[in-house]
Chains A and B, each alone.
Chain A
């Protein structure tokens, strides 16, 4: 019988190896899988390449993972925000690499990686420094740059509900990168607020079909990043 439920966040992230590429869901704090990230800090895998839209805030969640020296490279669109000081500091010191990708290109590259598309063309970034060194090509008299599909060894994703097959639904704008990161990762690890019976999600309303999910762990009351930051919390 298929049962993708993992016993704990620690068990769920136990096989993330040094040097792995890890996609981490979330747009700001919405959809950020804080408990899985903290488990990854406890676990200690290093030299990671992390794909995530932002770089976290305060000293919890993604920012704490970076502060702990586990991330060698960030692939993201917006590594700067209120309360974000960990990444800027390490970046200025030259201690962490950055591949800056426009947000839509980042999303499309992840979706392409999950869909078996090695490369595609987009008008985004044409004529800007972010197109430097990239292949340019004209279709119907407009210029486009070629971008590559992006895959990962692991994805850490936050969902609202999950069943034992790994079918997922999300909450509002916390959906953001979750569905496409589950597609693009060889092993997608999901923290869900609620674990439901297989009949508990209407097949018409499934957002991520279970085929894209390897493990589900229940975190019934996930912390909110902004709340932790407000309280001045640090992890670990």
Chain B
């Protein structure tokens, strides 16, 4: 079968391209929402951990955070996805996309937390001392002095975490979510020609990742230009 025929069969006939398009939208939806959830969780955890490391307060919360980090970073995301789907939300009739967002968000949160913690800890202690010596309390020092600086240093790493997450969501098909990868699988199961569906799925991911990488590079240049002001 020639390339044109194969192309027609895999994408044009029965509007099969729609599987890819809808899958792409699902992938983007899950990734986007999970990134937000991950950032939210990650920042909270990082702040708890740093508060403990810097002041010795929030001991219990710190222990809980450490357990969370160990467990999430110690198990594969697909196992986490299955557990959240089959065990945590066992008897709740909940949208699978929502389950995926929760699972990937919780997973990403652990990695975001370590990135942000690294960023906060990289800020010279003298900054905290300067803030406190002016009479600002811990929270004010964190909010106005430490976090703005930390945020700037971790922004590229956080953006990279988004890229990682985009790729990770490709296992969403494990709970029968019709994401981009699954979209290709559906076409494949109907046409039995693995070549085009798989390669086009790969190409779509590649284009997205390259585009995001390009943006991250731009962001980094922008940030380092700012440093020279």
B and A form one assembly:
no
